[in-house]
Structure 1
Amino acid sequence: MTRRDALRSSALGFGWLALADLLAAADPPPRDPLAPRPPHFTPKAKRVIFLFMHGGPSQVDTFDHKPRLAADDGKPLPFPLPRVVSSATGSLLKSPFAFRQHGQSGAWASELFPHIAARADDLCFIKSMHGSNSRHGGALLELHTGSDTFVRPSMGSWVTYGLGTEGRDLPGFVSICPTLTHGGVNNYSSAFLPAAYQATPLGNAGTPAGRAAVPFVRGTTPPAQQRLEIDLLADLERQRTTAPDAAAEGRIQSFETAFRMQAAAPLAQDLSKETAETHRLYGIDEPATENFGRQCLMARRFAEAGVRFVQCTHSYKWDQHENLKRDHTTNAREVDKPVAGLLADLKRRGLLADTLVIWGGEFGRTPVAQGKDGRDHNPHGFTMFLAGGGVKAGHSHGATDDYGYFAVENKVHVHDLHATMLHLLGLDHTRLTYRHAGRDFRLTDVHGEVVREVLA
């Protein structure tokens, strides 16, 4: 082949690639993007509730019992620190909290979580989690979107893109009191996916859960007139251009969702319909647990109403660079009873079997001290737990080293967690793709393996 032939072939080849991408971009979006869609295979879970502990709970003070750390308290770390650390760190620091085993599974838990520990036989611990970023912003984005460097769709957006939603009168993805920092809206945005897949936020991190609600949900215009107005707007928007317009379609769908929500959202948000016993179960009757208890109860009500992905955020409280004992005690008290109450309530209503509950933060903490009584960021080894939705109950997977610094056994990266979540929902993470800017994207990018050892 001559150089001229090679250039001609290459030019045509590149031109064909560009044309193919333009034609793909010109495919009209679905008229109802949130309509339920079949999974790739039979799922174990139908929905997800993600309980996000913003700041990074310490694994060695919560669920990763390390007797060697206690024995060597005050000694230097006997192996090199990781190449990237947030700041200078000191000697080994034992946990100030007592650990013991719980349930038939014998799962270890510290005294911080008596209520969650009582449900140990419902839980599946992953004690070998690791991520790629030691900073809150990058770590939050990686956990929520799969990328710590680029704006990508959040995992809730990917789930609703893949499956749609069962509750046609509510959004497919709801985030209760989401964080405003460390990526902010990017942690629950749909990025380049159609706008219908972005989360609907209820309040934010600065909003008490009692006031976290869809704003202005009750319209003053009669429904029949609203229907005519929305239809007219849609017709005008679609007549404005002959080419498909994803942004315009997203606006139309947001109007449609808002129209349907007027009756359903106030009912889902109204916790007064619940019994006094249920309020006590979630700790809504106690000042320390009232705020997160409301989030968890709302999550159950939204999940029960058909919302596909619900996130509750205990926002930005777990970053104990100092005052570890005092602040971890306060934080755990605020979430322990509500989380246990949510698990118990889902189970007694028959929802836990097909609801995947995920608990955890963006990373863990170092087993060495920072300052007098704090711990630094540690993405190299930390703990999360799952419940329901097809995971092994009463199971612990993976392990960190003797001090709890590095994941060393059956390591699970954040990408693997995402692949496993999608698998439980009946989605093959390698097939759940969206074409954008000339390439196919997915939540796990080119990474991720399903952690089959945690599957029931």
Structure 2
Amino acid sequence: MDTNQPTDHRRGFLKDCLLRHCGMGLGATALASLISQTHSHANPAVGGAAGLSGDGLHFPARAKRVIFLFMAGAPSQIDLFDHKPELHQQFGKPLPPSVSNGQRVTAMTKGKQQLVAPSMFSFAPQGKSGMMMSELLPHLSKVADDLCIVKSLNTDAINHDPAKTLFCTGSQIPGKASLGSWLSYGLGRMNENLPDFVVMNSAFWTGGTGNVQALYSRLWGSGFLPSKHQGVSFQPSGDPVLFLSNPPGVTPPGRQHMLDLVSELNRQHLDEVGDPEIKTTIAQQEMAFRMQTSVPELTDLSDEPEHVLDQYGPEVHKSGSFARNCLLARRMVERGVRFVQLFHRGWDHHVGLPKKLRGQAYDVDQASAGLIADLKQRGLLDDTLIVFGGEFGRTTFCQGKLTPTDYGRDHHPRCFSVWMAGGGIKGGMTYGQTDEFSYNIVEDPVHIRDLNATILHQLGIDHRRLTFPFRGLDQRLTGVEEAHVVKDLLA
């Protein structure tokens, strides 16, 4: 700094530094993404932001909230949802060229034999609908009439990183806004004491650690949208949000006094320079203070009745487990969090699939069914949309050794299954069909873009009209390609 500058200029510079950097003990940096005003600053192209009612931007919403259960690594549809009993007659035989039709495969399969591996798991009809469910999902089978299984999903990516990025942000190219960020931007907040978009990374079956990909913050990032719309990652131990607790020796009244003082200085600075980002800074600090009360209350499960805990299964008592995070997700949407995304890794089964898949299914089966039942008995399932799926499917042919009880499967973007429940989606139905090898779609294809368009539709958003100008293009979640709402899924 030039000491020959006028005193008033130096004083202004020091004051600016003080205002920009005070309050860091509140975790302002870590909590910056939590801040949004009561109404989001939506693009005028969508006609303004919706209010706190969550009634949607473009038409009445059927859902107000979303819980997205993302199975990172890609579950095998042929062992869980897409029953192909006739495949047992093809055991160990080469996949017919008429089926593969020269389609793209990974480097792990290229040049190798593609021997058919039928599922070793039994299937049975479940619920009034009679949908076929794997023996690995006994608890989800009990809520089959609440599920809508889409068997004809397909994607453009064949490797994990771009496929996960595409599913979560609508593009294989990093840097785009995630689904939860779009909803935060378009619909605004429902709770002033909690973030609108929360992310939790769950522990997974301890035997499935052999082939696990990293998760990147861009999967819940805001991309080109203001950073206040990005997802907030909750931690399984210690402070749920980093830097949430007061430092040693700082009392809540003392923190409030400091916050009042800094807020007053910030308001004076706002009057002087008119920078709208100063309003965001004030809101960040005030939100951080409120969350010191709201987040501990949210994550304290001591008030949950034993019968509710039992619904989620024994793993609910383990911090960071998928079951515990499902229960926390219910508590979050109950308190007005709009979008909760649970990541569960360990689903990439190139070898030893039967043993590993059994463990992974144990992690998520009872917890997912418990979440559905818990939301339903509280009257929340009707307007809470649950989505369960991974980035792509698995091949019908084997990787590694092939026996009737041991095999692996490669990546398969051509067809895979997801299920949805609640939020105005039809229950007790399956949609789309694959061929006898679960390799190609033969009826009602659904692209990732179509699924995202349908999710937005249920929240009252026309995917073509929710846009944000960036680098000369009106960006949107579904991109510039064709995307359609799958109306046959809607109740």
Q: Same fold (TM over 0.5)?
A: yes
Is the contact made by 1:177 and 1:212 (CA closer than 8 Å) also made in structure 2? no
Partner amino acid, structure 2, of 1:115: H
Change (3 A) 1:240 1:379: farther
Q: Is the counterpart of residue 196 in structure 1 residue 220 in structure 2?
A: no
Task: Supply the distance in 1 between the matched residues of 2:311 and 2:397 (Cα, whole angstroms).
Answer: 37
> C-alpha offsets along residues 376-399 of structure 1, whole Å, 9 cap, x if unaligned?
011110000000000001011111
Change (3 A) 1:286 1:350: closer
Residue aligning to 1:11: none
> C-alpha offsets along residues 219-267 of structure 1, whole Å, 9 cap, x if unaligned?
334263144145246436646855655xx66554433332221221111
Task: Supply the distance in 2 between the matched residues of 1:226 and 1:408 (Cα, whole angstroms).
Answer: 64
Partner amino acid, structure 2, of 1:310: V
> C-alpha offsets along residues 30-79 of structure 1, whole Å, 9 cap, x if unaligned?
85555636521111000000011111000000010012322211111112
Q: How does 1:200-239 map to 2 (within 5 A)?
A: 200-203=232-235, 209=236, 213-219=240-246, 220-222=251-253, 224-232=256-264, 234-235=266-267, 238=270
Change (3 A) 1:322 1:240: farther
Q: Is the counterpart of residue 67 in structure 1 residue 94 in structure 2?
A: no
SS in 2 for 1:231: helix
Moved more, 53-62 or 170-179: 170-179
Change (3 A) 1:276 1:71: same
Change (3 A) 1:329 1:170: same
CA RMSD of aligned residues (A): 2.4
Alignment counterpart, residue 133 of structure 1, candidates 157, 160, 163: 157
Residue aligning to 1:155: 179
Task: Supply the distance in 2 between the matched residues of 1:148 and 1:281 (Cα, whole angstroms).
Answer: 37
Unaligned runs of 5+ in 1: 1-28, 204-208
Q: Is the counterpart of residue 305 in structure 1 residue 335 in structure 2?
A: yes
Task: Supply the distance in 2 between the matched residues of 1:67 and 1:236 (Cα, whole angstroms).
Answer: 72
Residue aligning to 1:121: 145
Partner amino acid, structure 1, of 2:349: Q
> C-alpha offsets along residues 347-401 of structure 1, whole Å, 9 cap, x if unaligned?
0000000000000111110000011111001111000000000000101111111
Residue 111 of structure 1: how far off its partner (Å): 0.6
Task: Supply the distance in 2 between the matched residues of 1:349 and 1:197 (Cα, whole angstroms).
Answer: 28
Residue aligning to 2:449: 415
Q: How does 1:9-408 map to 2 (within 5 A)?
A: 32-34=38-40, 36=52, 39=56, 40-78=58-96, 79=98, 80-88=101-109, 90-177=114-201, 182=214, 184-203=216-235, 209=236, 213-219=240-246, 220-222=251-253, 224-232=256-264, 234-235=266-267, 238=270, 241-242=273-274, 244-245=276-277, 251-284=281-314, 291-315=321-345, 317-372=346-401, 373-408=407-442
SS in 1 for 2:397: strand
SS in 1 for 2:442: strand
Change (3 A) 1:124 1:86: farther
Residue 329 of structure 1: how far off its partner (Å): 0.4
Moved more, 38-47 or 410-419: 38-47
SS in 2 for 1:385: strand
Partner amino acid, structure 2, of 1:336: D
Change (3 A) 1:329 1:181: closer
Change (3 A) 1:233 1:331: farther
Is the contact made by 1:176 and 1:311 (CA closer than 8 Å) also made in structure 2? yes
SS in 2 for 1:153: coil
Partner amino acid, structure 1, of 2:376: K
Partner amino acid, structure 1, of 2:378: R
Residue aligning to 2:489: 454
Change (3 A) 1:111 1:229: farther
Is the contact made by 2:194 and 2:291 (CA closer than 8 Å) also made in structure 1? yes
TM-score computed with the length of structure 2 as normaliser = 0.80
Change (3 A) 1:344 1:226: farther
Is the contact made by 1:32 and 1:253 (CA closer than 8 Å) also made in structure 2? no
TM-score computed with the length of structure 1 as normaliser = 0.86
Task: Supply the distance in 1 between the matched residues of 2:333 and 2:378 (Cα, whole angstroms).
Answer: 12
Task: Supply the distance in 1 between the matched residues of 2:300 and 2:369 (Cα, whole angstroms).
Answer: 21
Unaligned runs of 5+ in 2: 1-34, 41-50, 204-211, 402-406
Q: Aligned residues: percent identity?
A: 42
Partner amino acid, structure 2, of 1:52: F
Change (3 A) 1:117 1:211: farther
Task: Supply the distance in 2 between the matched residues of 1:292 and 1:30 (Cα, whole angstroms).
Answer: 28
Task: Supply the distance in 2 between the matched residues of 1:388 and 1:125 (Cα, whole angstroms).
Answer: 12
SS in 1 for 2:321: helix
Is the contact made by 2:197 and 2:337 (CA closer than 8 Å) also made in structure 1? yes
Task: Supply the distance in 2 between the matched residues of 1:454 and 1:117 (Cα, whole angstroms).
Answer: 19
- Number of residue equivalences: 420
Task: Supply the distance in 2 between the matched residues of 1:290 and 1:266 (Cα, whole angstroms).
Answer: 15
Residue aligning to 2:10: none
Is the contact made by 1:300 and 1:342 (CA closer than 8 Å) also made in structure 2? yes
Task: Supply the distance in 2 between the matched residues of 1:136 and 1:288 (Cα, whole angstroms).
Answer: 28
Residue 162 of structure 1: how far off its partner (Å): 1.0
Residue 436 of structure 1: how far off its partner (Å): 1.7
Task: Supply the distance in 2 between the matched residues of 1:249 and 1:185 (Cα, whole angstroms).
Answer: 26
Change (3 A) 1:175 1:31: closer
Task: Supply the distance in 2 between the matched residues of 1:249 and 1:187 (Cα, whole angstroms).
Answer: 27
Change (3 A) 1:119 1:252: same
> C-alpha offsets along residues 83-135 of structure 1, whole Å, 9 cap, x if unaligned?
24342252010101111110111111111100011110000011000011011
Residue 211 of structure 1: how far off its partner (Å): 5.5
Task: Supply the distance in 1 between the matched residues of 2:175 and 2:287 (Cα, whole angstroms).
Answer: 25
